[in-house]
Amino acid sequence: MAIQKIRLPNGQTLNLEEWLHWPSFSVVECAAGSNVNLRAFSYVVGDRVPQAGAVAGGPRSATESDTNWVTKSRANHDEAIVVFAITNEYWALEADAPAPITGAPAQCAAVSPIFTGTNLRWLQLLMMQEFFVGANISKPMASAPLEYYGQGVGAVAYGSGDPLTVTGIGPGLINLDYGTAGDINPVLNQRRWAMPVMVASDRVMYAKISTPGGALTNVTQDFRMKIILDGVKRRPVA
């Protein structure tokens, strides 16, 4: 058992804790047109990544790039986190190109891992994201449509400027369609909660994404979504 508290002769108590900025992340994957009801932070490295529908590439085991969570659906027994905000990143698992239309005006397309802006807007309209803390709890600590959550973290992306061509469509008729959830800026584009959420040691928790209205029928790319709990983490005391 680790020593976490020291009582001094004068009655003062010292807590031996180290809190660090430690964004916790977990990936889920969805197929185009699928019904979604998935839980992130429900697996660890080596387990199957949660998937909805027949995702391009098929089932796969999680790696360190998919999650840095070390316990399934709960905080570790010697750790804790305080969550200030949720933010997301999106990657396409397949390209998206329009069907050739002779004489048509310029069209938009994207090559994986670029997720189109049109597809992202459909997700923001149709998908809910919720955060649950506690065993057998039906009321989430946070619940909002996907459009509520800004993309405050990630890498800023730029196009090469080269013409985008697709088989059967002539040069100059294709424009790059790149979807993002706003500026990569945690100050200006990360909706921080008025009251942070504490997840104590051994506390049950998970993030849930779902499509209450049914399948993502208008989404044309399979995609990977990384859910990030931005906040601080209490490191184990040895």
First to last CA, the chain: 8
3-state DSSP assignment of residue 238? coil
What is the pLDDT of the chain when averaged over all its residues?
Answer: 86
Q: Are 100 and 36 in contact (CB under 8 A)?
A: no
Instruction: Tell me what pLDDT residue 176 has.
Output: 76
Instruction: Tell me what pLDDT residue 112 has.
Output: 80
Pull the structure tokens for residue 179.
Answer: 């979807």
* Domain range summary for the chain, segments of one domain joined by +: 19-234
Does 215 or 185 have the greater pLDDT score?
215
Report the C-alpha dihedral over residues 120, 230, 228, 194, rounded to 10 degrees. -50
Nearest CA to 174 among 95, 93, 110? 110
Does 129 or 15 have the greater pLDDT score?
129
The answer to which of 3-17, 40-54, 124-138, 147-161 has the lowest mean pLDDT is 147-161
Q: List the alpha helices (DSSP H) in 27-106.
A: none
pLDDT tens figures, 116-142: 888 999 999 999 999 999 998 889 999
Most confident of 46-60, 89-103, 161-175: 46-60
Query: How would residue 3 be classed by pLDDT, with cut points 50, 70 and 90?
Result: low
Q: Are 196 and 131 in contact (CB under 8 A)?
A: no
Instruction: Tell me what pLDDT residue 1 has.
Output: 47
Query: How would residue 16 be classed by pLDDT, with cut points 50, 70 and 90?
Result: confident
Instruction: Tell me what pLDDT residue 104 has.
Output: 64
- Mean pLDDT of the region 62-83: 94
Instruction: Tell me what pLDDT residue 23 has.
Output: 92
pLDDT surpasses 80 at 184: no
Nearest CA to 144 among 204, 231, 229, 207? 207
Predicted model pTM: 0.85
